[in-house]
Structure 1
Amino acid sequence: MTFLRLSTAALILAIASGAAAGDFVKSSASRPRAVVELFTSQGCGFCPPADALLADLARSDDVIALAYHVDYWDYLGWRDTMASPENTARQQEYSRAFGTRSVFTPQAVVNGREQMNGAKRGKVEAAMRRMAGGPDGMIVDVTVSYEGEAMVVETGAADRPVRNAQILVVYFEPATQVRIERGKNAGRAWTYLNAVSGFHSAGMWHGEKTRIELPKNAIARKGAGGCAVLVQEMDADNLPGAILGAAILPNSGS
Protein backbone atom coordinates (compact mmCIF):
# COMPACT_ATOMS: atom_id res chain seq x y z
CA MET A 1 0.00 0.00 0.00
CA THR A 2 1.14 3.57 -0.61
CA PHE A 3 2.30 5.65 2.36
CA LEU A 4 1.83 9.41 1.98
CA ARG A 5 4.67 11.24 3.71
CA LEU A 6 6.12 14.74 3.44
CA SER A 7 8.77 16.32 5.59
CA THR A 8 7.69 19.17 7.87
CA ALA A 9 9.60 21.65 5.73
CA ALA A 10 7.65 20.50 2.68
CA LEU A 11 4.39 20.73 4.57
CA ILE A 12 5.08 24.31 5.59
CA LEU A 13 5.97 25.30 2.04
CA ALA A 14 2.93 23.58 0.54
CA ILE A 15 0.49 25.06 3.05
CA ALA A 16 1.98 28.54 2.76
CA SER A 17 1.63 28.43 -1.03
CA GLY A 18 -1.99 27.29 -0.84
CA ALA A 19 -1.31 24.19 -2.89
CA ALA A 20 -4.24 21.96 -3.79
CA ALA A 21 -4.43 18.43 -2.52
CA GLY A 22 -3.47 17.02 -5.88
CA ASP A 23 -0.17 18.94 -5.77
CA PHE A 24 1.23 16.91 -2.90
CA VAL A 25 3.59 14.14 -3.90
CA LYS A 26 3.13 10.61 -2.64
CA SER A 27 6.18 8.71 -1.53
CA SER A 28 6.91 5.11 -2.39
CA ALA A 29 5.23 2.40 -0.33
CA SER A 30 6.68 2.32 3.17
CA ARG A 31 5.92 2.51 6.86
CA PRO A 32 7.30 5.14 9.24
CA ARG A 33 10.25 4.04 11.32
CA ALA A 34 8.59 5.19 14.53
CA VAL A 35 5.98 7.41 16.16
CA VAL A 36 7.40 9.74 18.82
CA GLU A 37 5.00 11.64 21.07
CA LEU A 38 6.55 14.37 23.23
CA PHE A 39 4.80 15.84 26.24
CA THR A 40 6.28 19.28 26.75
CA SER A 41 5.60 22.79 28.02
CA GLN A 42 6.82 26.27 27.19
CA GLY A 43 7.03 26.83 30.95
CA CYS A 44 9.31 23.86 31.62
CA GLY A 45 12.96 24.81 32.02
CA PHE A 46 14.13 21.29 31.07
CA CYS A 47 12.10 21.11 27.83
CA PRO A 48 14.07 23.12 25.22
CA PRO A 49 16.50 20.26 24.42
CA ALA A 50 13.52 17.91 24.01
CA ASP A 51 11.75 20.45 21.78
CA ALA A 52 14.89 20.62 19.64
CA LEU A 53 15.01 16.83 19.32
CA LEU A 54 11.31 16.70 18.42
CA ALA A 55 11.92 19.33 15.74
CA ASP A 56 14.73 17.25 14.25
CA LEU A 57 12.50 14.19 14.17
CA ALA A 58 9.61 16.16 12.67
CA ARG A 59 11.86 17.23 9.79
CA SER A 60 12.80 13.66 8.96
CA ASP A 61 10.98 11.62 6.34
CA ASP A 62 10.56 8.41 8.30
CA VAL A 63 9.37 9.47 11.77
CA ILE A 64 5.97 10.82 12.83
CA ALA A 65 6.76 13.26 15.63
CA LEU A 66 3.98 14.96 17.61
CA ALA A 67 4.28 17.50 20.43
CA TYR A 68 1.54 17.53 23.07
CA HIS A 69 1.84 20.75 25.07
CA VAL A 70 0.52 20.29 28.62
CA ASP A 71 -0.99 22.89 30.94
CA TYR A 72 0.13 21.95 34.44
CA TRP A 73 3.23 24.20 34.41
CA ASP A 74 1.23 27.33 33.57
CA TYR A 75 1.26 28.40 37.22
CA LEU A 76 5.02 29.06 37.05
CA GLY A 77 4.41 32.40 35.34
CA TRP A 78 3.88 31.61 31.66
CA ARG A 79 0.73 30.15 30.13
CA ASP A 80 1.73 27.76 27.36
CA THR A 81 0.10 29.13 24.20
CA MET A 82 -0.49 25.66 22.73
CA ALA A 83 -1.35 23.65 25.83
CA SER A 84 -4.71 21.98 26.40
CA PRO A 85 -6.37 19.87 29.09
CA GLU A 86 -6.87 17.15 26.48
CA ASN A 87 -3.11 16.91 25.89
CA THR A 88 -2.56 16.66 29.64
CA ALA A 89 -5.25 13.98 29.87
CA ARG A 90 -3.53 11.88 27.19
CA GLN A 91 -0.28 12.03 29.13
CA GLN A 92 -2.09 11.04 32.32
CA GLU A 93 -3.59 8.06 30.51
CA TYR A 94 -0.13 6.98 29.37
CA SER A 95 1.08 7.38 32.96
CA ARG A 96 -1.59 5.00 34.20
CA ALA A 97 -0.84 2.58 31.36
CA PHE A 98 2.87 2.56 32.28
CA GLY A 99 2.07 2.25 35.98
CA THR A 100 3.92 5.43 36.96
CA ARG A 101 2.90 7.59 39.91
CA SER A 102 3.04 11.00 38.24
CA VAL A 103 3.52 12.80 34.94
CA PHE A 104 6.61 14.78 34.00
CA THR A 105 8.06 16.90 31.23
CA PRO A 106 9.74 16.40 28.93
CA GLN A 107 8.40 12.90 28.41
CA ALA A 108 8.79 11.02 25.13
CA VAL A 109 6.72 7.96 24.26
CA VAL A 110 7.96 5.82 21.37
CA ASN A 111 5.38 3.74 19.48
CA GLY A 112 3.11 3.90 22.52
CA ARG A 113 5.33 1.21 24.05
CA GLU A 114 8.19 2.85 25.91
CA GLN A 115 8.64 6.12 27.80
CA MET A 116 11.80 8.07 28.58
CA ASN A 117 13.13 11.57 29.23
CA GLY A 118 12.43 13.38 25.98
CA ALA A 119 15.65 15.40 26.29
CA LYS A 120 17.79 12.25 26.20
CA ARG A 121 18.46 12.01 22.48
CA GLY A 122 20.42 8.79 22.79
CA LYS A 123 17.62 6.99 24.64
CA VAL A 124 14.94 8.14 22.18
CA GLU A 125 17.01 7.15 19.15
CA ALA A 126 17.97 3.81 20.72
CA ALA A 127 14.32 2.97 21.33
CA MET A 128 13.45 3.80 17.73
CA ARG A 129 16.30 1.64 16.41
CA ARG A 130 15.39 -1.25 18.67
CA MET A 131 11.75 -1.29 17.58
CA ALA A 132 12.14 -0.49 13.87
CA GLY A 133 11.40 -3.37 11.55
CA GLY A 134 10.43 -5.75 14.35
CA PRO A 135 7.22 -6.74 16.14
CA ASP A 136 7.35 -3.56 18.28
CA GLY A 137 7.56 -1.33 15.21
CA MET A 138 4.98 -0.28 12.62
CA ILE A 139 3.37 -3.55 11.51
CA VAL A 140 0.23 -2.22 9.82
CA ASP A 141 0.09 -0.21 6.59
CA VAL A 142 -1.81 3.07 6.93
CA THR A 143 -2.50 5.57 4.16
CA VAL A 144 -4.30 8.92 4.21
CA SER A 145 -5.44 10.80 1.13
CA TYR A 146 -7.90 13.39 -0.10
CA GLU A 147 -10.72 12.32 -2.40
CA GLY A 148 -13.10 15.15 -3.23
CA GLU A 149 -14.42 16.50 0.03
CA ALA A 150 -13.33 13.47 2.04
CA MET A 151 -10.19 12.58 3.90
CA VAL A 152 -9.79 8.84 3.36
CA VAL A 153 -7.99 6.62 5.85
CA GLU A 154 -7.11 3.09 4.76
CA THR A 155 -5.35 0.38 6.73
CA GLY A 156 -4.03 -3.01 5.92
CA ALA A 157 -4.78 -6.07 8.02
CA ALA A 158 -2.84 -7.10 11.11
CA ASP A 159 -0.81 -10.30 11.04
CA ARG A 160 -1.95 -11.20 14.56
CA PRO A 161 -5.20 -10.96 16.54
CA VAL A 162 -6.15 -7.46 17.71
CA ARG A 163 -8.63 -7.33 20.56
CA ASN A 164 -9.11 -3.62 21.16
CA ALA A 165 -7.72 -0.83 19.00
CA GLN A 166 -8.80 2.50 17.64
CA ILE A 167 -8.01 4.82 14.76
CA LEU A 168 -6.88 8.11 16.29
CA VAL A 169 -6.84 11.31 14.22
CA VAL A 170 -4.40 13.89 15.59
CA TYR A 171 -4.47 17.50 14.35
CA PHE A 172 -1.29 19.57 14.55
CA GLU A 173 0.37 22.82 13.51
CA PRO A 174 3.51 22.21 11.43
CA ALA A 175 5.30 25.32 12.78
CA THR A 176 4.40 27.95 15.38
CA GLN A 177 6.70 30.76 16.41
CA VAL A 178 6.47 31.76 20.07
CA ARG A 179 8.34 34.32 22.14
CA ILE A 180 8.18 33.38 25.82
CA GLU A 181 8.00 36.49 27.97
CA ARG A 182 7.84 35.10 31.51
CA GLY A 183 8.64 32.01 33.53
CA LYS A 184 11.54 29.56 33.33
CA ASN A 185 12.21 30.22 29.63
CA ALA A 186 11.66 34.00 29.66
CA GLY A 187 13.28 35.72 26.69
CA ARG A 188 13.44 32.58 24.58
CA ALA A 189 12.06 32.69 21.04
CA TRP A 190 11.27 29.30 19.58
CA THR A 191 9.61 27.68 16.58
CA TYR A 192 7.64 24.69 17.81
CA LEU A 193 6.99 21.96 15.26
CA ASN A 194 4.00 19.61 15.04
CA ALA A 195 2.23 20.99 18.12
CA VAL A 196 -0.99 19.06 18.63
CA SER A 197 -4.14 21.17 18.52
CA GLY A 198 -6.69 18.40 18.98
CA PHE A 199 -7.38 14.72 18.48
CA HIS A 200 -10.28 12.27 18.41
CA SER A 201 -11.06 8.65 17.78
CA ALA A 202 -12.41 7.93 14.31
CA GLY A 203 -13.63 4.50 15.36
CA MET A 204 -12.63 1.09 16.59
CA TRP A 205 -10.25 -1.10 14.60
CA HIS A 206 -10.46 -4.88 14.68
CA GLY A 207 -7.32 -5.86 12.82
CA GLU A 208 -8.95 -6.06 9.41
CA LYS A 209 -8.35 -4.14 6.22
CA THR A 210 -10.36 -0.95 6.73
CA ARG A 211 -11.42 2.18 4.86
CA ILE A 212 -13.10 5.16 6.50
CA GLU A 213 -14.00 8.60 5.19
CA LEU A 214 -13.93 11.82 7.22
CA PRO A 215 -14.84 15.39 6.23
CA LYS A 216 -11.79 17.02 4.69
CA ASN A 217 -12.70 20.37 6.23
CA ALA A 218 -12.30 18.91 9.72
CA ILE A 219 -8.66 19.98 9.61
CA ALA A 220 -9.63 23.58 8.86
CA ARG A 221 -12.24 23.51 11.65
CA LYS A 222 -9.57 22.42 14.09
CA GLY A 223 -7.38 25.31 12.96
CA ALA A 224 -4.63 22.86 12.16
CA GLY A 225 -2.08 22.67 9.39
CA GLY A 226 -2.20 18.90 9.06
CA CYS A 227 -3.07 15.66 10.75
CA ALA A 228 -1.62 12.31 11.64
CA VAL A 229 -3.49 9.03 11.91
CA LEU A 230 -2.45 6.47 14.51
CA VAL A 231 -3.72 2.91 14.77
CA GLN A 232 -3.33 2.27 18.48
CA GLU A 233 -4.15 -0.67 20.68
CA MET A 234 -5.95 -0.06 23.98
CA ASP A 235 -5.47 -2.10 27.14
CA ALA A 236 -8.16 -3.73 29.28
CA ASP A 237 -8.78 -0.40 31.04
CA ASN A 238 -9.07 1.41 27.70
CA LEU A 239 -5.71 3.13 28.19
CA PRO A 240 -3.37 3.81 25.24
CA GLY A 241 -1.00 1.05 24.25
CA ALA A 242 1.09 0.00 21.27
CA ILE A 243 0.87 2.03 18.07
CA LEU A 244 0.71 -0.48 15.22
CA GLY A 245 0.67 1.85 12.22
CA ALA A 246 0.61 5.54 11.35
CA ALA A 247 0.54 8.07 8.54
CA ILE A 248 0.68 11.86 8.20
CA LEU A 249 -1.08 14.30 5.88
CA PRO A 250 -0.87 18.08 5.38
CA ASN A 251 -3.78 20.46 5.01
CA SER A 252 -5.59 20.35 1.70
CA GLY A 253 -5.09 24.08 1.25
CA SER A 254 -8.86 24.63 1.18
Structure 2
Amino acid sequence: MKRAPITTRGVVELFTSQGCNSCPPADALLSDLAKRNDVVALAFHVDYWDYLGWRDTLASPENTGRQTAYRNAMKGSMIYTPQVILNGRVQVNGNDAAGIRAGLARMSDGPGGLTVPVSITRPDDKRIVIEVGAGPKPGTPVHLIIAYFDDAAIVPIRGGENNGRSIVYRNAVRDIETIGMWDGKPLRVEIPASELAKKKASGCAVLLQEVSGDDRLGPIWGASMLKPHDLPVIDR
Protein backbone atom coordinates (compact mmCIF):
# COMPACT_ATOMS: atom_id res chain seq x y z
CA MET A 1 0.00 0.00 0.00
CA LYS A 2 1.40 3.42 -0.98
CA ARG A 3 1.17 6.40 1.32
CA ALA A 4 -0.43 9.53 -0.13
CA PRO A 5 2.16 12.22 -0.90
CA ILE A 6 2.32 15.21 1.40
CA THR A 7 2.50 18.64 -0.21
CA THR A 8 5.43 20.74 1.02
CA ARG A 9 4.19 24.25 1.71
CA GLY A 10 7.49 25.91 2.60
CA VAL A 11 11.23 25.63 3.25
CA VAL A 12 12.81 27.04 6.42
CA GLU A 13 16.61 27.25 6.55
CA LEU A 14 18.00 28.27 9.93
CA PHE A 15 21.60 29.46 10.17
CA THR A 16 22.66 28.86 13.74
CA SER A 17 25.63 28.18 16.01
CA GLN A 18 26.19 26.34 19.27
CA GLY A 19 28.48 29.23 20.26
CA CYS A 20 25.82 31.94 19.93
CA ASN A 21 23.74 32.70 23.03
CA SER A 22 20.96 34.21 20.88
CA CYS A 23 20.40 30.95 19.02
CA PRO A 24 18.73 28.49 21.47
CA PRO A 25 15.23 30.02 21.09
CA ALA A 26 15.59 29.78 17.30
CA ASP A 27 16.82 26.18 17.61
CA ALA A 28 13.72 25.38 19.68
CA LEU A 29 11.49 27.02 17.06
CA LEU A 30 13.09 24.95 14.30
CA SER A 31 12.47 21.83 16.40
CA ASP A 32 8.77 22.71 16.46
CA LEU A 33 8.71 23.34 12.71
CA ALA A 34 10.52 20.04 12.11
CA LYS A 35 7.47 18.22 13.49
CA ARG A 36 5.34 19.51 10.62
CA ASN A 37 4.94 17.25 7.61
CA ASP A 38 4.28 20.17 5.26
CA VAL A 39 7.51 22.09 5.99
CA VAL A 40 11.11 21.28 5.07
CA ALA A 41 12.96 22.62 8.13
CA LEU A 42 16.77 22.48 8.00
CA ALA A 43 19.46 23.78 10.36
CA PHE A 44 22.76 24.94 8.89
CA HIS A 45 25.35 25.27 11.65
CA VAL A 46 28.02 27.85 10.82
CA ASP A 47 31.61 28.03 12.02
CA TYR A 48 32.38 31.74 12.33
CA TRP A 49 31.55 31.91 16.07
CA ASP A 50 33.93 29.07 16.98
CA TYR A 51 36.52 31.61 18.18
CA LEU A 52 34.28 32.51 21.14
CA GLY A 53 35.43 29.44 23.05
CA TRP A 54 33.34 26.54 21.71
CA ARG A 55 33.75 24.76 18.39
CA ASP A 56 30.32 23.92 16.97
CA THR A 57 30.24 20.14 16.58
CA LEU A 58 27.74 20.31 13.70
CA ALA A 59 29.21 23.25 11.77
CA SER A 60 30.98 23.27 8.42
CA PRO A 61 32.55 25.88 6.13
CA GLU A 62 30.07 24.78 3.45
CA ASN A 63 27.15 25.82 5.65
CA THR A 64 28.76 29.22 6.18
CA GLY A 65 29.30 29.45 2.42
CA ARG A 66 25.60 28.81 1.81
CA GLN A 67 24.65 31.64 4.13
CA THR A 68 27.15 33.93 2.42
CA ALA A 69 25.66 33.04 -0.98
CA TYR A 70 22.26 34.15 0.30
CA ARG A 71 23.74 37.40 1.61
CA ASN A 72 25.29 38.10 -1.80
CA ALA A 73 22.03 37.35 -3.60
CA MET A 74 20.01 39.56 -1.25
CA LYS A 75 22.67 42.28 -1.28
CA GLY A 76 23.03 42.17 2.49
CA SER A 77 25.89 43.79 4.36
CA MET A 78 26.51 41.00 6.87
CA ILE A 79 25.72 37.49 7.98
CA TYR A 80 24.44 36.75 11.45
CA THR A 81 22.86 34.12 13.67
CA PRO A 82 20.16 33.17 14.11
CA GLN A 83 18.95 33.89 10.60
CA VAL A 84 16.13 32.17 8.71
CA ILE A 85 15.68 32.08 4.94
CA LEU A 86 12.17 31.25 3.71
CA ASN A 87 11.83 29.51 0.32
CA GLY A 88 15.20 30.94 -0.70
CA ARG A 89 13.51 34.34 -1.08
CA VAL A 90 13.39 36.38 2.12
CA GLN A 91 15.32 36.54 5.36
CA VAL A 92 13.82 36.77 8.85
CA ASN A 93 15.44 36.93 12.27
CA GLY A 94 15.52 33.35 13.53
CA ASN A 95 13.89 34.36 16.82
CA ASP A 96 10.93 36.04 15.11
CA ALA A 97 8.51 33.12 15.47
CA ALA A 98 5.48 35.16 14.41
CA GLY A 99 7.28 36.54 11.36
CA ILE A 100 8.48 33.10 10.27
CA ARG A 101 5.05 31.49 10.61
CA ALA A 102 3.37 34.44 8.89
CA GLY A 103 5.89 34.27 6.06
CA LEU A 104 5.27 30.57 5.58
CA ALA A 105 1.51 31.06 5.53
CA ARG A 106 1.74 33.99 3.11
CA MET A 107 4.03 32.18 0.67
CA SER A 108 2.15 28.89 0.76
CA ASP A 109 -0.99 30.57 -0.58
CA GLY A 110 0.48 33.22 -2.86
CA PRO A 111 3.60 34.66 -4.50
CA GLY A 112 6.85 33.06 -3.38
CA GLY A 113 5.32 29.63 -2.91
CA LEU A 114 6.62 26.27 -4.09
CA THR A 115 5.18 25.73 -7.56
CA VAL A 116 6.95 22.62 -8.89
CA PRO A 117 6.03 19.19 -7.48
CA VAL A 118 9.01 17.39 -5.93
CA SER A 119 9.01 14.04 -4.14
CA ILE A 120 11.60 11.90 -2.42
CA THR A 121 10.87 8.29 -1.47
CA ARG A 122 12.69 5.15 -0.45
CA PRO A 123 10.86 2.39 -2.32
CA ASP A 124 13.20 -0.32 -1.01
CA ASP A 125 16.33 -0.74 1.08
CA LYS A 126 18.67 0.01 -1.80
CA ARG A 127 17.38 3.18 -3.47
CA ILE A 128 16.25 6.71 -2.80
CA VAL A 129 14.13 8.03 -5.65
CA ILE A 130 13.69 11.75 -6.38
CA GLU A 131 11.10 12.93 -8.87
CA VAL A 132 10.50 16.46 -10.13
CA GLY A 133 7.42 17.44 -12.13
CA ALA A 134 7.13 19.67 -15.17
CA GLY A 135 6.99 23.45 -15.08
CA PRO A 136 7.84 26.57 -17.07
CA LYS A 137 11.31 26.47 -18.59
CA PRO A 138 13.53 28.48 -16.23
CA GLY A 139 15.59 31.42 -17.44
CA THR A 140 18.17 30.86 -14.69
CA PRO A 141 19.97 27.58 -13.92
CA VAL A 142 17.92 25.50 -11.49
CA HIS A 143 19.79 22.91 -9.43
CA LEU A 144 18.43 19.77 -7.83
CA ILE A 145 20.13 19.86 -4.43
CA ILE A 146 20.19 17.17 -1.76
CA ALA A 147 20.90 17.95 1.90
CA TYR A 148 21.79 15.14 4.31
CA PHE A 149 20.84 15.80 7.93
CA ASP A 150 20.79 14.40 11.46
CA ASP A 151 17.23 14.06 12.68
CA ALA A 152 18.19 14.86 16.28
CA ALA A 153 21.39 15.45 18.22
CA ILE A 154 21.78 16.32 21.89
CA VAL A 155 24.95 18.35 22.41
CA PRO A 156 26.40 19.15 25.86
CA ILE A 157 28.16 22.48 25.40
CA ARG A 158 31.25 22.93 27.54
CA GLY A 159 32.51 26.33 26.53
CA GLY A 160 31.63 29.67 24.98
CA GLU A 161 28.44 31.64 25.45
CA ASN A 162 26.22 28.58 26.00
CA ASN A 163 28.60 26.84 28.41
CA GLY A 164 26.84 24.32 30.65
CA ARG A 165 23.76 23.86 28.46
CA SER A 166 22.67 20.68 26.68
CA ILE A 167 20.71 21.56 23.57
CA VAL A 168 18.67 19.37 21.23
CA TYR A 169 19.34 20.19 17.59
CA ARG A 170 16.97 18.98 14.87
CA ASN A 171 17.65 18.41 11.17
CA ALA A 172 21.26 19.63 11.30
CA VAL A 173 22.70 19.48 7.77
CA ARG A 174 25.89 17.42 7.52
CA ASP A 175 26.43 17.63 3.77
CA ILE A 176 24.80 19.30 0.75
CA GLU A 177 25.42 18.76 -2.95
CA THR A 178 23.92 19.27 -6.40
CA ILE A 179 22.80 16.02 -8.02
CA GLY A 180 21.17 17.30 -11.20
CA MET A 181 19.82 20.19 -13.25
CA TRP A 182 16.18 20.88 -14.11
CA ASP A 183 15.06 22.42 -17.40
CA GLY A 184 11.30 22.43 -16.91
CA LYS A 185 10.82 18.81 -17.99
CA PRO A 186 10.01 15.93 -15.61
CA LEU A 187 13.16 14.64 -13.92
CA ARG A 188 13.88 11.42 -12.04
CA VAL A 189 17.09 10.73 -10.12
CA GLU A 190 18.01 7.64 -8.11
CA ILE A 191 20.78 7.51 -5.53
CA PRO A 192 21.95 4.57 -3.40
CA ALA A 193 20.30 4.44 0.02
CA SER A 194 23.78 3.70 1.37
CA GLU A 195 24.60 7.39 0.87
CA LEU A 196 22.80 8.12 4.15
CA ALA A 197 25.27 5.99 6.09
CA LYS A 198 28.23 7.42 4.17
CA LYS A 199 27.15 10.94 5.09
CA LYS A 200 26.45 9.91 8.70
CA ALA A 201 22.90 11.15 8.20
CA SER A 202 19.53 9.82 9.27
CA GLY A 203 17.47 11.69 6.65
CA CYS A 204 17.71 13.86 3.57
CA ALA A 205 15.85 16.63 1.81
CA VAL A 206 15.78 17.82 -1.79
CA LEU A 207 15.53 21.43 -2.94
CA LEU A 208 14.86 22.63 -6.47
CA GLN A 209 16.64 25.97 -6.41
CA GLU A 210 17.86 28.73 -8.71
CA VAL A 211 21.64 29.15 -8.60
CA SER A 212 23.23 31.91 -10.66
CA GLY A 213 26.58 31.68 -12.36
CA ASP A 214 28.33 33.49 -9.51
CA ASP A 215 26.90 30.97 -7.00
CA ARG A 216 24.24 33.31 -5.68
CA LEU A 217 21.32 31.35 -4.32
CA GLY A 218 17.86 32.21 -5.57
CA PRO A 219 14.26 31.13 -5.05
CA ILE A 220 13.35 27.54 -4.21
CA TRP A 221 10.75 26.19 -6.64
CA GLY A 222 10.00 22.89 -4.93
CA ALA A 223 11.15 20.70 -2.05
CA SER A 224 10.56 17.46 -0.21
CA MET A 225 12.00 15.59 2.75
CA LEU A 226 12.72 11.97 3.63
CA LYS A 227 12.61 11.57 7.41
CA PRO A 228 13.99 8.61 9.39
CA HIS A 229 10.50 7.31 10.17
CA ASP A 230 9.54 7.20 6.47
CA LEU A 231 9.46 3.47 5.79
CA PRO A 232 10.03 1.92 2.36
CA VAL A 233 6.92 2.21 0.19
CA ILE A 234 5.86 -1.31 -0.81
CA ASP A 235 3.11 -2.27 -3.29
CA ARG A 236 0.96 -5.08 -1.91
1:248 equivalent to 2:222? Answer no
- The Cα RMSD (Å) is 1.8
2:129–2:188 CA contact under 8 A, matched in 1: yes
Out of 195, 199, 219, the residue aligned to residue 218 of structure 1 is 195
Query: Residue type of the partner of 2:127?
Result: A
SS in 2 for 1:184: helix
Matches of 1:179 and 1:240 in 2, distance apart? 33
Q: Deviations over 1:104-132 (max 9, x none)?
A: 00000000000011111111111111101
Matches of 2:102 and 2:79 in 1, distance apart? 22
Q: Deviations over 1:194-245 (max 9, x none)?
A: 0000010001111211111112111110000000011111235331111111
| TM-score with structure 2 setting the length | 0.92
Write the mapping of 1:1-150 to structure 2, written as runs, cut at 5 A: 26=3, 28-148=4-124, 149-150=126-127
Q: Deviations over 1:152-205 (max 9, x none)?
A: 1101111x3312101000000000001111111111111100000001000111
Deviation >6 Å, runs of 4+:
none
| TM-score with structure 1 setting the length | 0.86
2:6–2:37 CA contact under 8 A, matched in 1: no
Out of 173, 177, 193, the residue aligned to residue 200 of structure 1 is 177
Matches of 1:190 and 1:45 in 2, distance apart? 12
Query: Residue type of the partner of 1:165?
Result: V
Matches of 1:100 and 1:229 in 2, distance apart? 26
2:132–2:186 CA contact under 8 A, matched in 1: yes
Query: Residue type of the partner of 1:238?
Result: D
Write the mapping of 1:142-161 to structure 2, written as runs, cut at 5 A: 142-148=118-124, 149-158=126-135, 160-161=136-137
SS in 1 for 2:145: strand
Query: Residue type of the partner of 2:224?
Result: A
1:209 equivalent to 2:186? Answer yes
SS in 2 for 1:103: coil
SS in 2 for 1:89: helix
**For structure 2, which runs of at least 5 residues remain unmatched after alignment?**
none
Out of 208, 211, 214, the residue aligned to residue 234 of structure 1 is 211
**For structure 1, which runs of at least 5 residues remain unmatched after alignment?**
1-21
SS in 1 for 2:130: strand
Partner of 1:189: 166
SS in 2 for 1:90: helix
Partner of 2:156: 179
Quick one: percent identity of the two aligned structures?
47
